Amino acid sequence: MVEQIQLRYGINPHQAPATASAIGEWPFEVLNGQPGYINLLDAMSSWSLVRELRAALDQPAAASFKHVSPAGAALGLPILQRLARAYEVENLELSPVASAYVRARGGDLVSAYGDFAAVSDVVDESLARFLRREVSDGIIAPGYEPAALEILSKKKGGRYLILQADPSADMSEVESRDHFGIRLEQPLDDKTIDESIFDNPVTELTDFPDGVRRDLLVATIALRYTQSNSVCVAADGQVIGLGAGQQSRIHCSRLACGKADRWMLQQHGQVLGLEFDSSLKRPDRFAAREQYIAWQELSHPERERLQSQIVNWPGPLSDDERREWISQFRNVLSHDAFMPFRDNVDRAQASAVTHILQPGGSIADGDTTDACNQYGIVMALTGQRLFRH
């Protein structure tokens, strides 16, 4: 039994030596590469997330993690043509597990650069071929087909981190952290997130259709593994906007909804029709499309550089064009704690949010409920806070 492994270094390169030690059953095997401190934080959180999504929704699941929060998470549903063009995968044959990871990464293509990947099912050759071309630090999965393992073992000059999770390993019932000479301990946050979260609607409209329930389960489970405060927007079985780690909840909502807006606008015909300088690599094209969408926020030098990268400059999208396009979508939103003010609802409705989940418990619950009724949004109170620090 593994008791301890040597890490490349701690959170920063100057924090060495660093180790990882077992406090119970060792939960994974290192198949390739040498993990770092942050790698293991991302690996354990992302593996827990995809395992929970798989159990809750009975679909292959994937996550793309950066700095101990998901950049994206998704189920292995088919990718529609417009979205496939935005993700630049329209010519690829994708298995369900590969589709899950493409969708997870696609929820925030810029943030996912250099991610840690996790999937709930065995990695097949389809997923390995896709990962081979992406900038990624490592992956954790319950198993690997021989051909997939051979492909990934050659990535990054043979240094790509490949971890094989042990699905049968029991997680400790207590988690602890040493900090400034004291040890903090608490029970593991394993309270079930299931259909019961829809049992307490408080708005005039109360219907949660099947697709909405699926997307809200994806969003809410993702929040359990996101640094708080956090707000998550989801659609079509995937996270499309996640605002994490902010001191103010409205800032989380603005981040999450702003990312969701960019995800929707990346599928706009004018954005899909952009033609780039042939020297731009795929990650640069993703970044350029995001800058094009965020034109009003760019500085003058950023605008000049962007225009030099696009060979058929069409001019920016107008506010009316943006609003009209976003209005076609139907998204859902979940909060990890109560909404203290109605401004979170005001921001959500501008990003085509039709259903909201939140724990409730604020003195402003009545105000947020009134705001939902004003916009025709359905909201339920779960009574379950999902802070993570």
Burial level of 301, CB count in 10 A (0-12/13-18/19+)?
Answer: exposed
Answer whether residue 109 is part of any domain. yes
Which residues are part of the catalytic machinery?
66-67, 229, 389
Averaged pLDDT score across all residues of the chain? 95
Going through the chain in order, the beta strands assigned E by DSSP cover 4-7, 18-21, 28-32, 61-66, 69-75, 115-119, 136-141, 161-165, 174-179, 182-187, 230-235, 238-244, 331-335, 353-358, 378-381
pLDDT at 22: 83
**Could you tell me the CATH number of the domain that includes residue 221?**
3.40.140.20
- Residue 160 to residue 37: CA distance in whole angstroms: 15
Q: What are phi and psi of 14, to 5 degrees?
A: -80, -5
> DSSP assignment, residue 60?
-
User: Is the pLDDT reported for residue 367 higher than 90?
Assistant: yes
Kind plus residue range of the DSSP H or E element containing 293: helix 282-293
Tell which wins on pLDDT, 84 or 26: 84
pLDDT at 26: 87
Cis? peptide before 312, omega within 30° of 0: no
Q: Is 367 helix (H, G, I), strand (E, B) or coil?
A: helix
User: Tell me: the pLDDT tens digits for 120-146?
Assistant: 999 999 999 999 999 999 999 999 999
Q: Is 378 helix (H, G, I), strand (E, B) or coil?
A: strand
Answer whether residue 386 is part of any domain. no
- Residue 50 to residue 73: CA distance in whole angstroms: 8
pTM: 0.95
Q: Are 227 and 208 in the same domain? A: yes
For the chain, report the end-to-end CA distance as a whole number of angstroms: 30
Q: Are 25 and 90 in the same domain? A: yes
What tokens were used for 230?
């956090």
Q: Are 302 and 226 in the same domain? A: no
Q: Are 131 and 70 in the same domain? A: yes
Q: Are 153 and 284 in the same domain? A: no
Q: Are 249 and 102 in the same domain? A: no
253 is in which domain, residue-wise? 175-265+324-381
Average pLDDT over residues 168-187: 87
Q: Are 276 and 246 in the same domain? A: no
Of 145, 169, 193, which residue is a domain's last?
A: 169
User: Tell me: the pLDDT tens digits for 216-234?
Assistant: 999 999 999 999 999 999 9
DSSP-assigned states of every residue in 313-358: ---PPPHHHHHHHHTT--EEEEESS--SSTHHHHHHHTTTEEEEEE
The 10 Å CB-count burial string (b at 16+, else e) for 78-115 is: ebeeebbbbbebeebebbbbbbbbbbbbbbbbebbbeb
Residues 6 or more apart in contact with residue 370 via CB below 8 angstroms: 342
Answer whether residue 388 is part of any domain. no
> DSSP assignment, residue 119?
E
- Residue 66 to residue 380: CA distance in whole angstroms: 30
Q: Are 155 and 24 in the same domain? A: yes
Answer whether residue 339 is part of any domain. yes
pLDDT at 151: 98
* CA 18 to each of CA 40, 140, 273, 326: distance values in angstroms, whole numbers, following the listed order: 12, 20, 48, 47
User: Tell me: the pLDDT tens digits for 28-80?
Assistant: 999 999 999 999 999 999 999 999 999 999 999 999 999 999 999 999 999 99
Q: Alpha-carbon dihedral of residues 231, 50, 116, 168, nearest 10 degrees?
A: 140
Average pLDDT over residues 201-207: 97
Length of the chain counted residue by residue: 389
Q: What are phi and psi of 178, to 5 degrees?
A: -95, 130
Give 169's pLDDT tier (boundaries 50, 70, 90): confident
Of 316, 332, 352, which residue is a domain's last?
A: 316
Q: Are 164 and 139 in the same domain? A: yes
- Residue 96 to residue 73: CA distance in whole angstroms: 14
Q: Are 133 and 62 in the same domain? A: yes
Give 1's pLDDT tier (boundaries 50, 70, 90): low
User: Is the pLDDT reported for residue 275 higher than 90?
Assistant: yes
Answer whether residue 137 is part of any domain. yes
Nearest to 327 by CA among 347, 350, 343: 350
Provide the percentage of residues in the chain whose pLDDT is more than 90.
Answer: 91
pLDDT at 24: 78
